[in-house]
Chain A
Amino acid sequence: QKEVEQNSGPLSVPEGAIASLNCTYSDRGSQSFFWYRQYSGKSPELIMSIYSNGDKEDGRFTAQLNKASQYVSLLIRDSQPSDSATYLCAVFRAGTASKLTFGTGTRLQVTL
C-alpha cells in the first residue's frame, strides 16, 4: 500500500464546474497535509495546507480533512482553464523520524 495515494487522472471538468481531488494516506500519525499545484515542467507550488479535521477555505479552494478516514480532499470551485495542472497531495509525519511524503499527483484538465 502506498503511503499517499491519488488517482492519476486525468480528471476532466468543464469551465465553471467544481473539481474534486482526493487523497488517502496510510500513516495515522500524520499531522499536516498539503496540496501543491504543479504545471507541466514547473516546480510544485503550495496552494493549501490543513492541520485539523474539517474544512479550510481560501478563495476558490477548499481543503477537507478527515483523519478518522485518513482522507484529504481539495475542491476547486468555478474551475478555470488556468487551473489545469497536476495536483500533488503531501502528508507530513512529525516525530523522531519526521517525513514529508508526496503522492504521485492527479492531473486536472479544465475544458472550455
Chain B
Amino acid sequence: EAQVTQNPRYLITVTGKKLTVTCSQNMNHEYMSWYRQDPGLGLRQIYYSMNVEVTDKGDVPEGYKVSRKEKRNFPLILESPSPNQTSLYFCASSLLYRATDTQYFGPGTRLTVL
C-alpha cells in the first residue's frame, strides 16, 4: 500500500530533551516536507527536500533540523525542544514539486513539550 508513515504518533517530552520524528514514504517520491499545524494558524511548512541531500527552510524552521540521506526517509529533529514546539506535525511527500503534483500526508505526530 502506498503510504507515508510517521513515528511516533504521540510523544510527550520535556524541555531540552532531543528527539527525532521519523517519516518514510514508499512511493519513490522526490519531494518531502514537514508541516506543523496549530489552531488558527493552519499548516505551516517547516522544512522541505527536493531530493536526496537537498533540503531547504520553509516558513517556520527555527528550532528544527532535517536530513535527507535516503530518498524514502526524511526525519525531523528537535535538538532542544521547547513548549512552543507543542503542535501536530505532518510529513508529506509528492512525486515532484509541480503545479499538478498531489501531496500525500502522513498520519501526524502529536507532540507535547512540557
Contacts and interface: CB of A to CB of B under 8 A. Distances in A.
Contact of A32 (B42, B43, B100, B106): B100
Interface residues of B, number: 18
A43 B41 contact: no
Contact of A94 (B98, B103, B107): B98
Given A88-B43, A104-B41, A105-B42, A41 B99 contact: no
Contacts of B100: 32, 49, 51
Interface in B39-91: 40-43, 45, 88, 90
B108 A49 contact: no
A46 B5 CA distance: 17
Interface string B95-114: 00111101101111010000
Contact of A42 (B45, B99, B107): B107
